[in-house]
Structure 1
Amino acid sequence: MTSSFTVRSAAGYEQLMGRWSRRLAEPFIAFAGIADGERVLDVGCGTGSLTFALAQSAKLDEIAAIDYSPVFVAEAQRRNSDSRISITQGDACALAFEDKRFDRAFSLLVLHFVPEAHKAIAEMRRVVRAGGTVAAAVWDHLGGMPSMRMFWDTIAARGPEARRSRHQYFFQPMMRPDALRQGFLSENLVDVEQTSILIRMDYKNFADYWEPIASGEGPLGKYVSGLDADRLAEAEEAVQAAYQGGEPDGPRSFVSVAWACKGLVPEGD
């Protein structure tokens, strides 16, 4: 498996996205469902936002978490003090678990960074027992993330290369309105349900927004890391003007929407 997400440091990721994935974890678990005594797999655990939320949500027997990035795995392992949780490096498209081992397999903010996302869904289905749940969530980059559109729409005005990068960001796998549901149905999951989950991203000031991007984290950071010093300074000035919106620098709050989908492994599977 390859991943299109750029990881520089755990701290940078936390500022860019980890703090928001923690906000998303609780409503995602409420949508996906959980019950005492279950065994749950977290596919693409990052620094542990969903993993540790699962541990607090029910008296689970086991939580297995995997991630492709050794940076994320090391940080999640460092944070872990729960004997029920195991965290290892792994491939979402080739899970190192036997068939039907888990009651549920979840993936939070991962599938849109997996080029072969259908394989990841198929693998999640494979390791879940009959009657068990597969669930995933991805950001709605095009229609539901104004904080990120603010960056890309500002940058895209600067030329065709930036517009190509914007298009790639908006239309990653599983991000179109019905893509997750269709992906689940194509892997023969049943009782498939898709919804939207809304949180808010609250920034202290422009620096709080810009620092992880400037340091090269994630897709936005990957783009700006390819700019020379002059173009980077121009981009920062333009994005800061968009962030401030003609008002003094300070706190800003942006709504952010994720697509979420769940389905059951058929009985008798």
Structure 2
Amino acid sequence: MTSIFTVHAASGYEQLMGRWSRRLATKFIDFAGLAAGEKILDVGCGTGSLTFELAKSADLTEIQAIDFSPVFVEAARQRNTDPRITIAQADATALPFADGTFDRSLALLVLHFVPETGKAVAEMRRVVRPGGVAAAVVWDHYGGMPGMRMIIDTVAALSESGRQMRNRYCFQPMMQPGEMKRTFVEQGLADVTEAELMVRMDYENFDDFWAPIAAGEGPLGKYMTTLDTAELERVEAAVRDAYQAGRPDGPRSFASVAWACRGIVP
């Protein structure tokens, strides 16, 4: 198994995370760097948040995008109108490209869902030419995602299974300070730099916040599908109360922080 991310529908992912990953993609591109004429690999492209932002950001020669999920691959292909972009289903731990094919390999919100993270970073290094860049970014689930922690902590207060889910969610791979940097160094990348990137997640109301999770999208949604009707109603009522915080339902905004890391291929 090469991904632990749960996806049912591309539209559900877009509401859950795609709209925010697009905001993060622009900051990640600035961090990772780009130059005209380069060939770029997007590892774990999802619905194309980074892929299509790359196409807008520089005069690139080629963008290859891969994802393990056929749902994501099909959705991204349907969106694509750029002849420079090719989207395929592939495994991040066994990339179907020759050594040194790309100038940069980038992974947006992917590595924490890959069980063999070190192997994925090694592959990102392998397919980049000497002097090129490998870079990745993941959310800080433990300390940088207050909107999601609001759900997690509410669920954890209601049941033992919720507490166990919180333990898994908060400590996925690559999310602790310095963890991704150490992995990049261990896989032979040079001049490794780690930074924090922040975006805001803005919701119109509670339903906008809750709907994709209730529909089973992502790791929190997967947990919700294990609950019976009464348990789910109890969780929803408690999370709604936390979201509204004693005020009428309506817009809410959460600052969300991600860890970013880049290194040079020797």
TM-score (norm 1): 0.98
1:22 aligns with 2:22: yes
The Cα shift of 1:161 comes to 1.2
The Cα shift of 1:4 comes to 1.0
| Aligned residue in 1 for 2:123 | 123
Distance 2:63 2:39 in 1: 6
The Cα shift of 1:95 comes to 0.1
Distance 1:101 1:247 in 2: 54
The Cα shift of 1:20 comes to 0.3
| Aligned residue in 2 for 1:164 | 164
1:252 aligns with 2:258: no
1:99 aligns with 2:99: yes
- Secondary structure at the aligned position of 1:248 is classed as coil
| Aligned residue in 1 for 2:155 | 155
Number of residue equivalences: 266
- Secondary structure at the aligned position of 2:82 is classed as coil
The Cα shift of 1:2 comes to 2.2
Distance 1:3 1:169 in 2: 14
Unaligned runs of 5+ in 1: none
Alignment of 1:4-19 (within 5 A): 4-19=4-19
Residue deviations 1:20-57 (CA, integer Å, cap 9, x gap): 00000001000000000000000000000000000001
- Secondary structure at the aligned position of 1:249 is classed as coil
Distance 2:22 2:131 in 1: 28
Alignment of 1:61-140 (within 5 A): 61-140=61-140
| Aligned residue in 2 for 1:197 | 197
Residue deviations 1:209-234 (CA, integer Å, cap 9, x gap): 00000000000100001100000000
Residue deviations 1:117-155 (CA, integer Å, cap 9, x gap): 110000000000000000000000000000000000000
Residue deviations 1:247-268 (CA, integer Å, cap 9, x gap): 00000000000000000001xx
Distance 2:159 2:234 in 1: 13
Distance 1:157 1:199 in 2: 28
Unaligned runs of 5+ in 2: none
Alignment of 1:204-219 (within 5 A): 204-219=204-219
2:2–2:92 Cα contact (<8 Å) kept: no
Moved over 3 A (4+): none
Distance 2:52 2:61 in 1: 14
2:2–2:93 Cα contact (<8 Å) kept: no
| Aligned residue in 2 for 1:242 | 242
| Aligned residue in 2 for 1:38 | 38
Distance 2:219 2:166 in 1: 10
Distance 2:52 2:16 in 1: 19
The Cα shift of 1:160 comes to 1.6
Distance 1:201 1:110 in 2: 19
Distance 1:250 1:177 in 2: 34
2:138–2:259 Cα contact (<8 Å) kept: yes
Distance 2:2 2:232 in 1: 28
Letter in 1 for 2:84: R
- Secondary structure at the aligned position of 1:236 is classed as helix
Distance 2:190 2:223 in 1: 39
| Aligned residue in 1 for 2:188 | 188
- Secondary structure at the aligned position of 2:158 is classed as coil
Distance 2:11 2:243 in 1: 23
- Secondary structure at the aligned position of 1:182 is classed as helix
Distance 2:25 2:222 in 1: 25
Distance 2:59 2:121 in 1: 26
Letter in 1 for 2:72: F
Distance 2:173 2:237 in 1: 31
Letter in 2 for 1:139: W
Distance 2:78 2:165 in 1: 34
